[in-house]
Amino acid sequence: MSRYEAQKRDGLARIGTYEHEGTVVSLPAALDTASLFPALRERALSNVPLAIDPAFVENYFSPGEGQPVTVHPLAASAESGDCVMVANWHTGGKNPRNYAGWLAALKEKLPPDTAWYAPAAALPSTACLLIYSGFDLFDYRGVDLASAQKKFCLPEGEFPASMMETGVCGCEGCQEGDLARHNRLALDHEIALVRHYIDAGKLRELMEARCRTDAAQVGILRFLDRNYAFMERSLPVARAVPMRANTAESQNRAEIRRFADRVIERFVPTRTDVAVLLPCSARKPYSLSRSHKLFMSTVDRRAHELIVTSPLGLVPRELERVYPAGHYDVPVTGYWDREECAFIADILARYFAAHPYRRVIAHLEGGALTVAEMAADACGFDLEVTCTGHPTAPESLRALNAALEGERRMQTDIIRGTVSWQFATDINTKGLQIRGKSMQMAVLRGKQQLFSIDPGTGLFRPTFEGWDLIPEGYRIRIDEFVPQGDVLAPGITDCDPRIREGDEVLVEGPLAIATGRAMMGADEMLRSKRGVAVRVRKVKKLGE
* CATH class (in words) of the domain with range 2-228: alpha beta
Domain with CATH 2.30.130.10 in the chain: 425-541
Rounded to an integer, the average pLDDT of 521-533 is 95
| pLDDT > 90 fraction of the chain, expressed in percent and rounded | 92
Among candidate residues 403, 413, 412, 418, the one with its CA nearest the CA of residue 461: 418
Task: Please give the torsion angle defined by the CA atoms of residues 200, 451, 500 and 96, in that order, rounded to the nearest 10 degrees.
Answer: -50
Pick the more confident residue, 21 or 474: 474
Rounded to an integer, the average pLDDT of 199-213 is 96
Residue 248: per-residue pLDDT: 86
Residue 437: per-residue pLDDT: 84
Rounded to the nearest 5°, which phi and psi values hold at 360? -125, 115
HSE-up (13 A, CA, CB side) for residue 60? 12
Please calculate the CA angle 33-37-39 and round it to the nearest 5 degrees: 130
19 φψ region: left (φ > 0), alpha (ψ -120 to 50), beta (else): beta
Mean pLDDT of the chain: 95
Rounded to whole angstroms, how far apart are CA atoms 17 and 197? 17
Residue 464: per-residue pLDDT: 97
Among candidate residues 347, 315, 348, the one with its CA nearest the CA of residue 330: 315
Q: Which residues pair with 24 in a beta bridge?
A: 19
Rounded to whole angstroms, how far apart are CA atoms 266 and 144? 52
Specify the DSSP element, H or E, that contains 207: helix 203-210
Domain with CATH 3.20.20.105 in the chain: 2-228
Q: Which residues pair with 8 in a beta bridge?
A: 15
User: Between the CA of residue 190 and those of 25, 145, 187, what are the distances in Å?
Assistant: 18, 18, 5
CB atoms under 10 Å from CB of 55, counted, come to: 9
Summarize pLDDT for 285-307 with one digit per residue, the tens: 999 999 999 999 999 999 999 99
336 pLDDT band (50/70/90 cuts)?
confident
Specify the DSSP element, H or E, that contains 2: strand 2-10
Pick the more confident residue, 262 or 43: 262
Rounded to an integer, the average pLDDT of 375-393 is 95
* CATH class (in words) of the domain with range 243-403: alpha beta
Rounded to whole angstroms, how far apart are CA atoms 28 and 134? 10
Domain with CATH 3.40.50.10630 in the chain: 243-403
Rounded to an integer, the average pLDDT of 141-169 is 97
DSSP-assigned letters across all residues of 390-438: STTSHHHHHHHHHHTTTPPP----HHHHHHHHHHS-----TTEEEEEET
Q: What residues contact 273, with CB distance under 8 A and at least 6 apart?
A: 357, 358, 359
Rounded to whole angstroms, how far apart are CA atoms 513 and 288? 39
Rounded to whole angstroms, how far apart are CA atoms 189 and 197? 13
Summarize pLDDT for 54-90 with one digit per residue, the tens: 999 999 999 999 999 999 999 999 999 999 999 999 9
Q: What residues contact 229, with CB distance under 8 A and at least 6 apart?
A: none
Among candidate residues 424, 418, 517, 539, the one with its CA nearest the CA of residue 472: 424
Residue 544: per-residue pLDDT: 63
Rounded to whole angstroms, how far apart are CA atoms 347 and 261? 8
Residue 520: per-residue pLDDT: 96
1 pLDDT band (50/70/90 cuts)?
confident
CB atoms under 10 Å from CB of 21, counted, come to: 10
Among candidate residues 134, 84, 111, 235, the one with its CA nearest the CA of residue 526: 111
> 3-state DSSP call for residue 186?
helix
Task: Answer whether 50's CB lies under 8 Å from 92's CB.
Answer: yes
> 3-state DSSP call for residue 267?
coil
Query: 89-99: string of b/e by CB count within 10 Å (b at 16+)?
Result: bbebbebbebb
The number of residues making up the chain comes to 544
Rounded to an integer, the average pLDDT of 431-444 is 91
What are the start-end ranges of the H helices in 110-202? 127-132, 141-148, 172-176, 179-200
Residue 333: per-residue pLDDT: 76
Whether residue 543 is predicted with pLDDT greater than 80 in this model: the reply is no
Rounded to whole angstroms, how far apart are CA atoms 80 and 43? 22
Summarize pLDDT for 449-501 with one digit per residue, the tens: 999 999 999 999 999 999 999 999 999 999 999 999 999 999 999 999 999 99
> Can you give the pTM of this predicted structure?
0.95
Whether residue 119 is predicted with pLDDT greater than 70 in this model: the reply is yes
CB atoms under 10 Å from CB of 541, counted, come to: 10
Is the domain 425-541 a CATH 3.30.1360.170 member? Answer: no
490 φψ region: left (φ > 0), alpha (ψ -120 to 50), beta (else): alpha
337 pLDDT band (50/70/90 cuts)?
confident
Residue 332: per-residue pLDDT: 77
Residue 318: per-residue pLDDT: 97
